[in-house]
Amino acid sequence: MTQAKKIPCEIISIREGKTWDNVIVRRKSTGKQMFFGKAKKDLTISVGDAAYMQVEAMASELPETPLRVTLYDENDTKIDWVIIQPTMFDVGR
């Protein structure tokens, strides 16, 4: 994986599931939202909390290199991660 980029965001929704919690965050720079579906239930996060996403390009032979987006709270505790295509997430902003 290449160098990671940190992107500030805010937690806007936490929904309790049977096994995991679902977390939605909003990027501060663009207002775009991202869904994370496997957050551990024992985390101490709340709606309105500051967080950040760390974005890394993954090694790939595909024409469009997938991105691994990891969500952390402001204390650097890992909340969840997803793999997405770059067209879904503009890292440059």
- What tens digit of pLDDT does each residue of 28-76 get? 888 999 999 999 888 889 999 999 999 988 877 766 778 899 999 999 9
pLDDT score at 39: 93
Amino acid at 39: A
Say if residue 89's pLDDT is above 60: yes
Q: Are 67 and 84 in contact (CB under 8 A)?
A: yes
12 pLDDT tier (thresholds 50, 70, 90): very high
82 pLDDT tier (thresholds 50, 70, 90): very high
Q: Are 73 and 45 in contact (CB under 8 A)?
A: yes
First to last CA, the chain: 20
pLDDT score at 91: 56
**pTM for this model (two decimals):** 0.84
Q: Are 56 and 2 in contact (CB under 8 A)?
A: yes
